[in-house]
Structure formats: C-alpha cells, structure tokens
Structure 1
Amino acid sequence: MSKGVVIVTGGSRGIGRACVLLAAERGYDVVFSWVSGEDAAKSLVAEVEAAGGKAIAVRSDIAAEADILSLFAVADAVGPLVGLVNNAGVVDKTARVEDMSVARLERMFRINVIGSMVAAREAVKRMSTRHGGKGGSIVNIASVASVLGSPALFVDYAASKAAIDTFTLGLGREVADEGIRVNAVRPGIIATDIHASAGEPDRVANIRSQIPMKREGSPDEVARAVLWLLSDEASYTTGSIVTVSGGR
C-alpha cells in the first residue's frame, strides 16, 4: 500500500534521480518533473516500475508557474500529497560578479528560489491542516555554497542557495503547527554532472583534497538524508538544515 505521493522537482538525474528511486523503494508514489533529457526521464520511470514501484514523469519547467501548477495537478490525480522535494536548480558558468548579466541573475533566482517557493506554496495548500490537509513534509535542496560564498566561481548560485536556507527556516516555523515539517539538505561536492554544466568538469577531482573525508559524496548519500527528513523518523525536526558534505 502506498504511503502517499511525493513530488520531486528536477527528478530525472543526479540527486533528484536518487531521491525518486529511494522514495519509490520506500513505498511512495513519485511524481517528478524534468525539462530536458526525455530519455533519462523515461528510463527512470521504467526502472522504478521494474522494481515494483510507481513513478510518473512530467515535463515541467520550475521557472514557470503554469508548469508547476500542471505538475501538482498530475500529482493530485495520483493520490494525497505527503511530500515535496524541491530539488530542481541550475548553476551557470563560473564568473566573477562584475561579469554577470541581469539575464543570468534572473534565471538563477527564478529557478533556484522563486520556483522552489511556488512549489512549496502549492504543497502547503494541499498538506496544511489549515486547508483541510493531513500534514506532510517539504525538503529543500540547499548547498554548502551558501556558507562558503563561492567567490570567483558563482556567487549568484551561492546567494540563491542562501535564500533557500532562510526560506526553509521561515516556512518551517510558519507551518509548524499545521502538520507540515520543512527542512533542507545541504550537499557539498557530489558526483553529478552539475560541475560540467558550470564549465568545470574536473571540479570534483580538483577539490577532493580539500574535503575532510577526502572524497566526493554520491547522490544516494544525499537522497538518504532527504528520505529521513520526509519520514516520520524526523517527526520532531523542522526548520533545520542537514549538511551532507564530508565535513567541508
């Protein structure tokens, strides 16, 4: 029997993909969004179904409110929403602040911040006891960049993730007595393709020695923290950030 529906934004690859697989394995029906890479999205659905789970892939751009509403409408048709993983996010090519265009900044904050806030808004509408819901959990994917600042790399990305930190704390306290827990996971250097998209495909290898554990993390290690926060095992945890960074 399903534990309910969990939405994972940006679920077709990397940390999002690991969250989809683990959520399905633990008995949730999963609805996930994707923007590019249709083959990867279809392959993930097939992998979940082959293992006896249920997953639905929805092409949905988190930068667009209409797409977010459509994503939630699909989830509504599956069953009661019990969780949201705000994973979708972007990084840009490494640059100094004086070289960043307004278009770059607007894209960064529209996806990484506004998109996550709108998705959380829709989740609250469905899960809050104030609106007749039965409660649930929101987990935002933050980043250690928010506390490191990422100078000469992507200060804009770091700032967007700092906004997620504050949003997690504020929303967590706002809906704490409405049956909703809001937390975040703050990954460090994780072996995903996000580094290549920033123009630094060798970043993991180059920074490995600076990590106290001397290794990068895996998407699965982040997903396990996410699923703990989604579960009743974290029933007294809200407005918190779990750092998964190998000590960095």
Structure 2
Amino acid sequence: MARPVTVVTGGSRGIGAATCLRLAADGHDVVIGYVRDGDAAEAVAEGVRKDGARCAVVRVDTSVEAEVEGLFDAAERELGAVTGLVNNAAVTGPFGRLADAGTADLRRVVEVNLLGTLLCSRRAARLMAARGSGAIVNVSSAAATLGSPGEYVHYAATKAAVDALTVGLAKELGPDGVRVNAVAPGVIDTEIHATMGDPGRAERVGHTTPLGRAGRPEEIAAAIAWLLSPEASYTTGTVLRVSGGR
C-alpha cells in the first residue's frame, strides 16, 4: 500500500515538530511547512528520515495564498498525492489585555490562525474531495472556550473560529469521503510561552489543571496521529480536547 502523505504547517517546533516525528513513526511521509527557522525544520526532517519516511521541507507563510499553493504543489511534486493535512501554524501575538494590543498584531493573529487555516483547508479540500478520501486535523486550543482574558482573547477568538470551521467543513466534505477534526490542547510546554513574553507560563498554569501539570507536545501529537489514522475512520466534526481537564 502507498504510504500516506501528510502536510504539517508550523512543523519546525513544538507541537508541529512532535507531530512530524510521530507521523513518520506511524508510517507517513511528511511535508514540513515552516516560516522562519530553516535549521530547526531541517533538524525535524532529519528525525523524520531516520524513521524511514520521506520528507520535504517547504518555507511557507500560510497567510499568503501563493505560498500555500506552492506548499501543496511541492508536496505533490516531491512526495505524491496529499492524503492528510495538519493545520498547526499559529501565532499568539504579545501577552496582555486586548485594550493594549496593536492593530498589526491583531491582524497577524487573524491572518495566520484563521485565514491561513482556511487557505490550507481549501487547497486540501480540492485535492482530497476529487480523490474521494483524506483527513484534515486542525490544531485549535482550549482557549477557544476559556476565552483567555488578560492573556490573548484575540488568539482565543481565532481558535473558536477554527472550531466552527472544523464542524462546518466536516459536514461539507463528509459526502466526499474526507474527514475533518480538531485537537484543542490546553497549556503545553513549548517555546510559544517565551515567545509571547511569559516563559514561566506553562509551569504556572499547568499546576492549576486537574492533572496538575502542563502537557507535552508528544501528547498532542498522539491525538493528531489518531485522528489521521484508520482507527478514527468514523470520527469527523469532532474537537478533541487534550487539556489536562481544564
């Protein structure tokens, strides 16, 4: 049987990197989309190839239509028909209250987290529906229902939109044999917290969950891998919360 070919956006770090490695171990060939750190993306690609998987590395800003089209063109040219998509690329913007947020930061969060997910999903839908099969997994956030007041309500709002997209697109593509689901992580121990200006956030907030700790990227990757797998063949339109009970 042909190996699945899965595109992972934001695949150079954190949840995206863990997902690429997990999918390679599960028998996928992987396309790693990244926007800035080419060295990190190549390091992930090396790990993917060590598991015997083929890998392509493509620089892409998912908020730019032409670059998204180039990502999928490269995927199909280098590895073959795309069977899966993980919409993981996202940004939070600076940590703080909405009243203090700059318009450019708000616009970037919406363009990457929502428009980028829409653009990637649209291209995947065109490819997969024509072939009668495929799976899309969106990386949402528990923030979509918690709201994240005082932290990043703008980010939470875009993730709530991703949840709506997941439900609607699943209904739209189900008759075409394409499944669409999402994973909603809680606080996960990645560098995203330092990037937004609060490096100790994962440990601090993790202690407030019923499980008493932050999650690990590998735990989210496991959920994503399951949703892409044949074991989840009757699962679509689902937002799977992996948040330590929060």
Shift of 1:49: 1.4
Aligned to 1:68: 68
Q: In structure 2, how many angstroms separate the alpha carbons of the residues matched to 1:25 and 1:54? A: 11
Give the TM-score, by structure 2 length.
0.97
Deviations 1:200-241 (A, max 9, x none): 100012112211000111111000100110011111111101
SS at match of 2:31: strand
Q: In structure 2, how many angstroms separate the alpha carbons of the residues matched to 1:102 and 1:188? A: 26
> Are 1:22 and 2:18 an aligned pair?
no
Aligned to 2:82: 81
Aligned to 1:43: 43
Q: In structure 1, how many angstroms separate the alpha carbons of the residues matched to 2:5 and 2:73? A: 12
Gap runs ≥5 in structure 2: none
Aligned to 1:177: 175
Q: Which amino acid aligns with 1:198?
A: M
Aligned to 2:105: 104
Aligned to 1:162: 160
Q: In structure 1, how many angstroms separate the alpha carbons of the residues matched to 2:205 and 2:45? A: 33
Q: Which amino acid aligns with 1:230?
A: L
Shift of 1:2: 4.2
Superposition pairs of residues 210-229 of structure 1, within 5 angstroms: 210-229=208-227
Give runs of ≥4 in structure 1 deviating > 6 Å: none
Deviations 1:41-97 (A, max 9, x none): 111111221222211110111121111011000111111111000000001111212
Q: In structure 2, how many angstroms separate the alpha carbons of the residues matched to 1:121 and 1:149? A: 27
Q: In structure 2, how many angstroms separate the alpha carbons of the residues matched to 1:191 and 1:168? A: 25
Superposition pairs of residues 99-138 of structure 1, within 5 angstroms: 99-128=100-129, 131=130, 133-138=131-136
When structure 1 is superposed on structure 2, of 205-214 and 235-244 the one drifting more is 205-214
> Are 1:237 and 2:235 an aligned pair?
yes
Deviations 1:164-189 (A, max 9, x none): 01110110111111110000000001
Aligned to 2:185: 187
Q: Which amino acid aligns with 1:119?
A: C
Give the TM-score, by structure 1 length.
0.96
Q: In structure 1, how many angstroms separate the alpha carbons of the residues matched to 2:227 and 2:203? A: 30
Gap runs ≥5 in structure 1: none
Q: In structure 2, how many angstroms separate the alpha carbons of the residues matched to 1:102 and 1:40? A: 30
Paired-residue identity, %: 45
Q: Is the 8 A contact 2:8 2:85 kept in 1?
A: yes
Aligned to 1:201: 199
